């Protein structure tokens, strides 16, 4: 379980959010510049809240009162952005294996070839990132973010730069990976169809505040027009 209660003063507004995430996907939506990415960066340890507390699976990652701030590399949080977090001078095989070797995983070759087969990218093993399509690069980024099963997966519009067909395929792969590894996931998306289809919770942000926090039953009852009307209410 992820428990978040953070405050951070920003240039345009104050980010002040509190929520919990159990297993499965919590969708996070809002207008551009509403504080979505900053929230994820605070959870990952890229940014530091001014006040608050972040707890992941009973492990305190951040506590302003107790002066606890676990370094990003020790939080065991997978993070995917719109851009591709890949090593440009390494081929696909090397991109996958470098992290495993750093963690001294045994039988690296067997592990790498197994996961490449699962992701249907075995034929891409010797290609470099620049030789891959956008969908292939993001699939590889997802694989790398979840190779060592993270305690939490953060997705920051990871399908935004893709065409609709490729975005749909990547989202299906993402959901399968989350279910297989029983991950807790916080997903930022502007694709309303994905927000409705995936996960069991949905939060809407406006200028750093949660204006809608929908549980599973409320989310399942939502239609696309309902979600559009929410955005009309909070943006205009």
At 189-222, the pLDDT tens digits run: 989 899 999 988 999 999 999 999 999 899 989 8
User: Residue 102 domain-assigned?
Assistant: no
User: Residue 122 domain-assigned?
Assistant: no
How far apart (Å, rounded) are the C-alpha atoms in residues 181 and 146? Answer: 9
User: Residue 116 domain-assigned?
Assistant: no
Is this structure's pTM higher than 0.75?
yes
User: Residue 194 domain-assigned?
Assistant: yes
Spatial neighbors of 107 by CB under 8 A, at least 6 apart, are none
Question: Structure tokens of 215?
Answer: 């549980």
Residue 206, classified by CB atoms within 10 Å of its CB into exposed (0-12), middle (13-18) or buried (19+), is: middle
- Phi, psi (5° rounding) for residue 204? -115, 130
Domain that residue 223 falls in: 2-89+128-235
User: Residue 73 domain-assigned?
Assistant: yes
User: Residue 111 domain-assigned?
Assistant: no
Task: Report the domain count for the chain.
Answer: 1
Identify the weakest region by mean pLDDT among 39-48, 89-98, 159-168. 159-168
Report the CATH number at residue 136. 3.40.50.300
List, for residues 142-156, the tens digit of each pLDDT value: 888 887 789 999 999
User: Residue 100 domain-assigned?
Assistant: no
């Amino acid at each position: 379980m992820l428990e978040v209660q953070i405050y951070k003063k920003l240039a345009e507004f104050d980010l002040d959010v509190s929520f919990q995430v159990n297993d499965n996907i919590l969708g996070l939506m809002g207008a551009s510049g509403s504080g979505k990415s900053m929230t994820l960066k605070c959870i990952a340890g890229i940014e530091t809240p001014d006040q608050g507390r972040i707890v992941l699976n009973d492990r305190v990652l951040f506590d302003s009162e107790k002066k606890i701030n676990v370094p990003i590399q020790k939080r065991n949080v997978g993070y995917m952005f719109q851009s591709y977090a890949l090593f440009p001078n390494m081929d696909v095989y090397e991109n996958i294996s470098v992290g495993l070797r750093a963690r001294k995983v045994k039988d690296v070759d067997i592990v790498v070839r197994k996961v490449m087969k699962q992701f249907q990218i075995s034929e891409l093993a010797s290609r470099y990132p620049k030789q891959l399509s956008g969908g292939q690069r993001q699939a590889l980024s997802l694989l790398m973010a979840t190779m060592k099963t993270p305690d939490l997966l953060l997705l920051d519009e990871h399908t935004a730069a893709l065409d609709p067909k490729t975005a749909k395929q990547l989202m299906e792969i993402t959901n399968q990976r989350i279910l297989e590894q029983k991950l807790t996931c916080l997903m930022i998306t502007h694709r309303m169809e994905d927000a409705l289809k995936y996960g069991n919770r949905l939060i809407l942000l406006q200028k750093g505040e949660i204006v809608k926090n929908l549980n599973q039953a409320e989310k399942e009852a939502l239609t696309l027009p309902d979600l559009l009307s929410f955005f009309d209410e909070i943006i205009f």
